[in-house]
Structure 1
């Protein structure tokens, strides 16, 4: 290594030491949220510690000079290296040998408030390059051109698109984004700790002791291998915390009517209900089975939900008899846990992730279900409940009786087979003590947490789309009647909410009537969403199904962070002539068709004669000069 290279490495080392918290925060922001907070914390520290250049290999790409004085010396080099390593984790996650090792503890940043939670949810919907753009822009105080340059140097395919997504996030979140990113919620250097799976560690310890006896290893030596010296006191304290989590007397119990005096209206505001909330033995059994389910206990979890034991005393939401089954529902801050104890069958556990619940998605849970029916347990702020069939939008809603403990009468479940003759939903009305005249729709997709349905109407001419509204009005119900049966594809996917966005309407050729284009977006509790682009021709009946013409997973499309969308399909007129139809969202400058059919049109809709089987590809021209291709089925 020559002197100049050694000097560069020394400057890089000094930059890492001096700006270590900044670099770790940037890495933590870019890393995939699906890793979980504990692993993200350790990986962020490991990546920064691995960012020191070796002095060998290809030369680094030259970056533009930065305005901030901290960027002098080796800082731009190590920052680029941190971004590269963090981006690589989303493409091909690895468990680096250099990641710090922590035994017996889970680490995670301090929890923030509602604003931090909303920003974290918004960031989880972005890709890694987009999160990197947000971090470079706000945490590093770089201008847009410099952000694009760093992302380009890090190997991002479309750094401009990533920066535009960061601008869109900033436009939605406002000037407070930078302040929120500097909070403890996103600081992987200021951490809270909880114990890991203590029961599993106990089993591993017993196994190690058995091996030690067979190998005639002394108890003292085994003590060093398993825990070692001063760590014993920490393990003892962790054991005490875990024991407290299993103590029914330490269960959190929210006071009645606390929901009316808090700004956080979610499952944390639920008071305990049911006739058996004082049954300590029932609660103790529920906690013990949660901590260590036996082989005969049936355990299910919605997609992306952990089944780990409680690491702190959970909150009691319900304890009582539901259809001859003793049921206990608990909430640990990020999960719902339903313990069911039938009279003549093994117990069962059901888990659902609900860490970003709000007034609506925290408005109900599924307390019991059977063959073709289910019951809701509604939130204490819900004052009225009705049911309706989405396939008959003009039929009036039917009253749904709610018992004093918040449990509803039986409600039919949506179909699971090939036929789809009805789609039952529940409509809830919130108390005016939390929001004035607010109704919302929920449907069951097989998970403990029901799914919130919303609607985004077609924008008025010349105006962009607004925020989604509740799917309770006549236009929303008429639109959902066509696409309700497509919800079957989302069963068991851990879906939080589904929004139908009418992004375009189009007059069909040969006086064929007016068609509607819809982008239906399903957001999961994990963050990533999936979309379907739907074509609704003029319908003879209210429930005539839509035609799905495009799909995409793990995308921000059709959300407030991805407002542009385009779809295409083939349509046959009454004359027998086939047409290629295409439509884009508000702001699309034009549409181009390539392949066996070549055509261009100004504006956001297109109709051109084309053979039914002629291969063609549609792309939209964006205001910034970019191109957006239609989703494929």
Structure 2
């Protein structure tokens, strides 16, 4: 008997002898597999089901789907889902197929009625009881939000990769067998949202285990009033809710009897200053997570109940006098649970409160006195922040300066000018609570005198900001030193781009996938040519920016060696902004590289798609024009078509051209695929 190969085997199945995947499967084998792997199948269904159904309904549906997977007669397991345990493979496919059905939009009354009837809980019915898995921490909450943003096929791919440990090909085959029309697209979307081993660990936590649930009643008084109504009327209402109701939240849904005040009661608790979460001063020393959840509550007004209440009320319902700013991609909704207090104190003539709810940092500020008027409320997305990206928050701005509240694991803050890589650094004083003194913000090139865009050596199709690097232009950045006892953290750079959280600056090496800190001499020299480009993503909700010298090219006619740089800005929302820059030979330290290409939403130069190709026209000292092109390490050949026809092996190209030449560039990669040039 030939053994089917497997990408992964569920826990507990090591003792089962593999069988031929082509043989008919007996119902008894399926029953045994269901009993053995029931918790795993229920967890898989729970992860794939849409978050919009609510946790209570997701728990019930997950169990319902797992129990409905048993075949009524002997079944043949398709070869596309071969597994050491064919019975488990068949049940898994049926669970995926059933759960995916709830991610598809309803297109008719038949599907809607069937979905509603299937969603209804089966006997025994417990009136007024809500079931949900125990709540996890900030990491689990962030993962749940990421899953909610994916569609059903991508969510299924995410769960199969992380929970079942299947390879991409196996995931795509399983999704195809379950009826997904574009399984490869779902696999790619899941990969772009994944966070490696961390997510695999979180997927097995109690947060996503519908077999370990908490039971809570709904409003008992309201339920008693409902029970006084006649049984016939109650049945009629239940049927109407099942047939015509829409999926609700945790407190609602089909057959739900959630009282009108339940949502307000939850919000009232979230807005209670006495229930604000406060981490211990040494929490970061005992926690395995270096994120905002490990920040203690600091400031001279952490016990000012009136101030905290005003901050929470403004968060829930900002008045007309409150100026609200929101980082792109950040929800402006009220808190759903008691947030964590990070800071409450007086800073530069204002009372400031910083709070964190696992997904967002919220800053409230009011003038001294708190008499109303002039309040400010700022929202910033910080889901997944860790280490360097969770090390500082803007606490106050005034006169082009900013003060920061730094993480408890930060032992030192220094200031340096990114446009002067060889200049010495200066210490930034901090209070005992971790609040820095005024830190000057960057002076963008637009504030200085303009200069000609045609810098020496820059050709057609390239732009250069000559003002950047001239007198009066600087780009201050903070260099933070973490506690020496934290493995994996080294001194790192943060810069202010107008949002609540400063942006982490990194430097890529090798094939572009390895991101390191930008504090070394080579990294600082590279950033000096890219610093002023940071102004183009100011206020865009940027999380980190990396620069990468992906190619050095020897120019024709002995023109020297030019550098090609890729600068990538990644936002908290997951989008990436890319600029390709060309640096001619002999450029001074602060001379900005010429921008030759860019994209507002690209994966180039990133973790999942590091390969990049770009080109530019360059004028040699002799006055002749050349078409230049360069690619990253994975490029094997470059071809030019259109206004110029040329092909060349290798990852560099330089051919004579005219200033008016318009050519399309493409590259052949080592895996045989074709890469178009960024333009």
Q: State if a TM-score over 0.5 links the two structures.
A: yes
Corresponding residue number in structure 1 for 2:507: 455
1:280 maps to 2:308: no
Q: What's the CA shift for 1:296?
A: 1.5
Where does 1:465-480 land on structure 2 (aligned, <5 Å)?
465=512, 467-480=514-527
1:508 maps to 2:555: yes
Corresponding residue number in structure 1 for 2:277: 252
Corresponding residue number in structure 2 for 1:578: 625
Where does 1:552-563 land on structure 2 (aligned, <5 Å)?
552-563=599-610
Which of 609, 616, 622 is the aligned partner of 2:656?
Answer: 609
Q: SS of 1:523's equivalent? A: strand
Where does 1:118-517 land on structure 2 (aligned, <5 Å)?
147=171, 159=184, 173=196, 181=203, 183=205, 235-343=260-368, 345-415=373-443, 418-419=446-447, 420=468, 421-435=473-487, 438-457=490-509, 459=510, 464-465=511-512, 467-517=514-564
CA contact (8 A) 2:507 2:523 kept: yes
Corresponding residue number in structure 1 for 2:25: none
Corresponding residue number in structure 1 for 2:614: 567
1:629 maps to 2:676: yes
Q: Residues 351 and 39 of structure 1: is their aligned pair in 2 closer, same or farther, counting only changes over 3 Å?
A: farther
Q: Residues 502 and 326 of structure 1: is their aligned pair in 2 closer, same or farther, counting only changes over 3 Å?
A: same
Q: SS of 1:594's equivalent? A: strand
Q: What's the CA shift for 1:559?
A: 2.2
CA contact (8 A) 1:483 1:546 kept: yes
Q: What's the CA shift for 1:239?
A: 3.6
CA contact (8 A) 1:136 1:142 kept: yes
Q: What's the CA shift for 1:433?
A: 3.3
Larger gyration radius, structure 1 or structure 2: 2
Query: C-alpha separation between the residues in 1 aligned to 2:563 and 2:174?
Result: 42
Q: Note the aligned Cα RMSD (angstroms).
A: 5.0
Q: SS of 2:514's equivalent? A: coil
Q: What's the CA shift for 1:445?
A: 0.9
Q: What's the CA shift for 1:614?
A: 2.0
Q: What's the CA shift for 1:257?
A: 2.3
Q: What's the CA shift for 1:469?
A: 1.2
Query: C-alpha separation between the residues in 2 aligned to 1:508 and 1:85?
Result: 58
Q: Which moved more, 1:253-262 or 1:475-484?
A: 253-262
Q: What's the CA shift for 1:294?
A: 0.9
Query: C-alpha separation between the residues in 2 aligned to 1:191 and 1:608?
Result: 68
Query: C-alpha separation between the residues in 1 aligned to 2:204 and 2:286?
Result: 29
Query: C-alpha separation between the residues in 1 aligned to 2:38 and 2:489?
Result: 50
Q: SS of 2:558's equivalent? A: coil
Provide, for residues 159-178 of structure 1, a one-character-per-residue CA deviation record: whole Å limited to 9, x for no partner.
Answer: 4x9868989999x936x876
Query: C-alpha separation between the residues in 1 aligned to 2:206 and 2:355?
Result: 27
Query: C-alpha separation between the residues in 2 aligned to 1:551 and 1:85?
Result: 39
CA contact (8 A) 1:110 1:185 kept: yes
CA contact (8 A) 2:56 2:131 kept: no
Query: C-alpha separation between the residues in 2 aligned to 1:519 and 1:128?
Result: 34
Query: C-alpha separation between the residues in 2 aligned to 1:120 and 1:270?
Result: 22
Q: Which runs of 5+ in 2 are unaligned?
A: 1-33, 69-77, 106-111, 121-129, 217-236, 246-250, 448-467
Q: Residues 240 and 132 of structure 1: is their aligned pair in 2 closer, same or farther, counting only changes over 3 Å?
A: closer
Q: Residues 452 and 125 of structure 1: is their aligned pair in 2 closer, same or farther, counting only changes over 3 Å?
A: farther
Q: Residues 456 and 233 of structure 1: is their aligned pair in 2 closer, same or farther, counting only changes over 3 Å?
A: closer
Q: SS of 2:556's equivalent? A: coil
Query: C-alpha separation between the residues in 2 aligned to 1:587 and 1:317?
Result: 45
Aligned length: 567
Query: C-alpha separation between the residues in 2 aligned to 1:111 and 1:148?
Result: 30
Normalised to the residue count of structure 2, the TM-score between the two structures is 0.69
Query: C-alpha separation between the residues in 2 aligned to 1:613 and 1:127?
Result: 46
CA contact (8 A) 1:112 1:183 kept: no
Where does 1:26-37 land on structure 2 (aligned, <5 Å)?
none
Q: Residues 44 and 479 of structure 1: is their aligned pair in 2 closer, same or farther, counting only changes over 3 Å?
A: farther
Corresponding residue number in structure 1 for 2:86: 69
Query: C-alpha separation between the residues in 1 aligned to 2:658 and 2:153?
Result: 40
Q: SS of 1:589's equivalent? A: strand
CA contact (8 A) 2:142 2:359 kept: no
CA contact (8 A) 2:59 2:132 kept: no
Q: Which moved more, 1:584-593 or 1:483-492?
A: 584-593
Q: What's the CA shift for 1:628?
A: 1.0
Where does 1:528-543 land on structure 2 (aligned, <5 Å)?
528-543=575-590
Query: C-alpha separation between the residues in 1 aligned to 2:44 and 2:252?
Result: 33
Query: C-alpha separation between the residues in 2 aligned to 1:27 and 1:610?
Result: 59
Query: C-alpha separation between the residues in 2 aligned to 1:178 and 1:625?
Result: 31
Q: What's the CA shift for 1:45?
A: 11
Query: C-alpha separation between the residues in 1 aligned to 2:397 and 2:316?
Result: 24
Q: SS of 1:360's equivalent? A: helix
Q: Residues 148 and 315 of structure 1: is their aligned pair in 2 closer, same or farther, counting only changes over 3 Å?
A: closer
CA contact (8 A) 1:119 1:173 kept: no
CA contact (8 A) 2:444 2:474 kept: no
Q: Which moved more, 1:432-441 or 1:595-604?
A: 432-441
Which of 631, 647, 651 is the aligned partner of 1:600?
Answer: 647
Query: C-alpha separation between the residues in 1 aligned to 2:300 and 2:401?
Result: 23
Query: C-alpha separation between the residues in 2 aligned to 1:380 and 1:23?
Result: 42
